[in-house]
Structure 1
Amino acid sequence: MTWNLGRSRLLGAPLREKRGTAQIAMLAICLSLSACSGGDSGGNDDDDGEDPAPDYDWSALRSTLDSYVPDTVSGYAFNLNVDDVSQFTQAGGDISVDSSVLTASATKAPSAAAILTLVDLGLLDLDEPVETYLQDSIDWPFAKRSITMRMLLNHTSGLQTAPDCLSEAVTVTMQECVQEIADAALGFLPGTAFSYGGGSYQVAGYIATVLSGQTWNDFFDMALAEPLDMQSYQFFGDENPRVAGGGTTTADDYRHFQQMFLNGGVYEDRQVLSADLIAEMSTDQIAGRLKLGMPLDRNDFPGYAFGWWISSPELHPGSTGPELSDPGLFGAVPWLDLDLNYSAVSLILSDTDTGLDIFSTARGLILDELLGTEESAQP
């Protein structure tokens, strides 16, 4: 059986050499923050013989990002892509453009996309009870037998949101962690409410390992990182990597994932994910459900789909959207706009509120430049 759409590798094929544990740890601390240096580049990539891209002016964005250092954040890395052209890349403070930064919850959308490749392969049905795929490796309680992969990836399963085992990447196996989650009481009847957390994603990731016969790290590498040429993307831990929040990446590598999404699942002529699944990931999955656990403002981010928050239209005036984002605990915020065909990612090591502030401010400046008007000014 081939791995993913038209891919010639077989399940279990050798993977590219991994970084060692110590090096991954260094990357997650921003390549030893004190050793990182800033860098920037900007402008339009128009050397391929095609019509040149519009002559945008990103000077306001550049100066605004720099204004956050060092009083608000110690450093940042930022990348902006418009119409499949890298428009603006900049870093400042103790983070460089090549720094691999812990993204926390901004890991969810890539993890969900990797798991969804199993749907394209015909190995997984989003609406089939997950017990079907556990192959007796987990003692799955009767009360949880209606839970589906769709529920797991959209936080509507009712499973424990923050089990202790998520913090045990070395001493506990992924199977043991999933059994702990399975044994815990339900927070609500599956499918009836939304409660954000990492427990359901750990179960979803474990199912991917069962179906693929690989570890999570190897599965993610084969399903997403290699076809997207995401050289830096790594997860903490081999035994029990945190599927919903343990990813580290550079801004440029995350851009590859965003561009695949904007291109309807295609990256450099490779169909990594089907257009139908990209559409699923862009369509609100929690409408009409009770929202019990909301880490973000429910008015600003009323929708959610497979790792992506869906913004309120008032936040991106001049664009019909949808605008999708995946903010993380330490302030990493990747986002993309399917109407204006642009993506951006901001990586910092601070907190969610600071990350959202940079996101909001940068978004306004980007919309002003793309639309050529002031209608994108934030209220």
Structure 2
Amino acid sequence: MKNYVLLPIAGFLSIAPLHVALAEDGLQGFSQERLGRIAPVMKQEIAKGTMPGAVTLIARNGQIVHFEAHGSLDAAKTKPMAKDAVFRAFSMTKPFTSVAAMALVEQGKMSLRDPISNWMPELKQMNVLAEQTDERGRTTRVAVPAKRQITVQDLLRHTSGFTYAGSAPFPELKEAYEKAEIESRNVDLPPEELIKRLASIPLAYEPGTRWEYGVSTDVLGVLVERVSGKRLDQFLDEILFKPLKMKDTSFQASAEQMPRLADALDTDPQKADAWKWVRVEADPGKRYRLGGAAAVTTAEDYFRFAQMMLNKGELDGVRVLSRETVEYMMSDHIAGLQGSPAPTTGPGYGFGLGFGVRLQEGVAWVPGSTGDSMWAGAGGTSFTIDPREKIVGVFMAAAPTPRLHTRFLFKNLLYGALVD
């Protein structure tokens, strides 16, 4: 039986079905009909072979208005995707490690202007590649002493001069990183060995002059360990995961989580190398904790983290960071410097301390707000935090190769459903 509500119309009372009158209640300015577009689009992408499945979550004003699982959990498409599916976070680990570092800053144990050599003397006297022209006009790159030391801020904002092998700007750096196994892709490199080997390789650029994506957050994770005296995963459990009740977030998939671990299609050309790199199924043992890549998490757990950041450092009565610290982290820290996070964010974004930060309404490839923050993982996951609209969006998929397509597709669907 339908309930009815009386609606005033031109001085008269009109009887309308209550379920119609209240259909948009609880949706926080989102349209139910437009949110309903998400599932068919996901179904279409799954049918096209973009991914086996996905989990999508949208919240506004702290209230979840959309939370759905789509498609399959496994590559063979024999298990339905579930809302509590566990995903390899890849670079969505970086904001966790950045928060851990800022917690130590708030505790007075380090500051952003500190040289990291205070705790990592191995990295005190770094060399940097510089172009040199001989008398015949031939230009070569040589290693020269860096003009200043790497600071804590440099690690947080990716201006340290460290890089990744796959995106190294110079072939000699790519070769050096691969030979030294800097990213621990094929061997279990201990944290002390990571720092020792990095010390012997020139930086790509002078510290503080250019945004260059790379192992900065992995080094930051080792720094957090040396300053806190605890393993990175244990420290994050203590200050972040357990206080926020992120029960499925860790640096190793547990035996209980393994049946819920989402897999990519076997036909995805990037799957084998990516999955081998993070190795979340295995005990990390002596390997450094990959503060930039190795967490596992769920859509709901990541929502809780992102909502804490949207709330200026607090969730459900638990304060992780101060309001000022969160606002500082989600402000642009690379203004006037070379380089850009556009390969991950698309155009129109700067970078804060662990987050890409939108600089203006236009220019970007998708709608959003000035000041919205985002990042994404190489395995196919992404998130957005929009402080102006009070929105959190989380997209989880195990699909490395089409990740740019899926992250922007989800943002278009999210903002396309916002009507008020």
* Fold shared per TM-score above 0.5: yes
Do structure 1's residue 155 and structure 2's residue 158 form an aligned pair?
Answer: yes
Query: What is the aligned counterpart of 2:297 among 249, 261, 273?
Result: 249
Q: Which residue of 2 aligns with 1:205?
A: 221
* Alignment-mate amino acid for residue 322 of structure 1: G
Give the structure 2 partner of residue 229 of structure 1. 245
Contact kept? 2:243, 2:318, Cα under 8 Å: yes
Deviation at 1:116, TM superposition (A): 1.1
Residue in structure 2 matched with residue 346 of structure 1 by the alignment: 395
Equivalent residue for 2:272?
Answer: none
Deviations 1:283-314 (A, max 9, x none): 1111111117863366x243111221123522
Query: 1:62 aligns to what?
Result: 39
- Assess if the C-alpha contact under 8 Å between 1:156 and 1:193 holds in 2: yes
**d(CA) in 1 for partners of 2:243, 2:345:** 34
Structure 2 CA distance for aligned equivalents of residues 302 and 217 of structure 1: 29
Deviates more, 1:358-367 or 1:326-335: 358-367
CA distance in 2, matches of 1:257, 1:238: 26
> Could you list the per-position Cα deviations for residues 125-171 of structure 1 after superposition, in whole angstroms to 9, with x for gaps in the alignment?
0111111233x5x4632556621111011110112434423225863
Measure the CA separation in 2 of the matches of 1:340 and 1:275: 18
Structure 2 distance, partners of 1:334, 1:248, is 15
- Post-superposition offset of 1:121: 1.0
> Are residue 359 (structure 1) and residue 376 (structure 2) matched?
no
Residues 257 and 293 of structure 1: is their aligned pair in 2 closer, same or farther, counting only changes over 3 Å?
closer
The one-letter code sitting in structure 2 at the alignment partner of 1:230 is M
Match of 1:140 among 111, 117, 124: 124
**1:72-151 matches, cutoff 5 A:** 72-95=50-73, 96-134=82-120, 136=121, 138=122, 140-141=124-125, 143=145, 146-151=149-154
Give the conservation status (yes or no) of the 8 Å contact 2:382–2:395.
yes
Query: In the alignment, which residue of structure 1 is the partner of 2:372?
Result: 323
Kindly indicate whether the alpha-carbon contact (under 8 Å) linking 1:330 and 1:349 is maintained by their aligned counterparts in 2: yes
Matched with 1:296 is 344
Deviations 1:22-80 (CA, angstroms, capped at 9, x unpaired): xxxxxxxxxxxxxxxxxxxxxxxx9xxxx955474021122222221132211111111
In 2, distance between residues paired with 1:139 and 1:318? 41
The change in CA–CA distance for 1:335 and 1:319 in structure 2 (over 3 A counts) is: closer
Could you tell me whether the CA contact under 8 Å between 1:327 and 1:356 is conserved in 2?
A: no
Alignment deviations for residues 165-209 of structure 1 (CA, whole Å, 9 cap, x no partner): 322586321111122112211111110111111x21122111111
CA apart distance, 1:217: 1.3
Rg larger in structure: 2
1:308 maps to 2:341: no
Mark the CA change 1:181 to 1:295 in structure 2 (over 3 Å): closer, same or farther. farther
Q: Helix, strand or coil for the counterpart of 1:347?
A: strand
Residue 77 of structure 1 aligns to a residue whose secondary structure is strand
In structure 2, list runs of 5 or more residues that go unmatched: 1-21, 74-81, 127-144, 166-176, 252-279
* Paired position in structure 2 for 1:286: 334
The total of aligned residue pairs comes to 318
How far does residue 321 in structure 1 lie from its aligned partner after superposition? 3.0
Structure 2 Cα separation of the partners of residues 362 and 344 of structure 1: 9
Is the Cα–Cα contact under 8 Å of residues 125 and 149 in structure 2 kept in the other structure?
Answer: no
**Structure 2 vs 1, CA of residues 322 and 293 (structure 1 numbering), >3 Å: closer, same or farther?**
closer
Which position in structure 2 is the counterpart of 1:3?
A: none
Q: Within 2, Cα distance between the matches of 1:281 and 1:301?
A: 18
Give the counterpart letter for 2:92 in structure 1. A
Aligned residues of 2:381 and 2:396 also touching (Cα < 8 A): yes
Q: What CA distance in whole angstroms lies between the structure 2 residues aligned with 1:176 and 1:317?
A: 41
- SS in structure 2 opposite 1:91? strand
Q: 1:348 and 1:330 mapped to 2: Cα distance? A: 7
**Cα distance in 2, alignment partners of residues 273 and 317 from structure 1:** 30
1:268 to partner: Cα distance = 0.8
SS in 1 for 2:377: coil
**C-alpha RMSD of matched pairs (Å):** 2.5
- What's the offset of the Cα at 1:319? 5.3
Counterpart of 2:46 in 1: which secondary structure?
coil
Q: 1:70, 1:93 within 8 Å by CA — same for their partners in 2?
A: no
Cα pair 1:333 1:356 within 8 Å, conserved: no
Q: Which amino acid aligns with 2:97?
A: S
Q: What TM-score do the two structures reach when normalised by structure 1?
A: 0.77
Whole-Å Cα distance in 2 between the matches of residues 125 and 273 of structure 1? 15
Among candidates 209, 214, 231, match of residue 215 of structure 1: 231
User: Helix, strand or coil for the counterpart of 1:367?
Assistant: helix
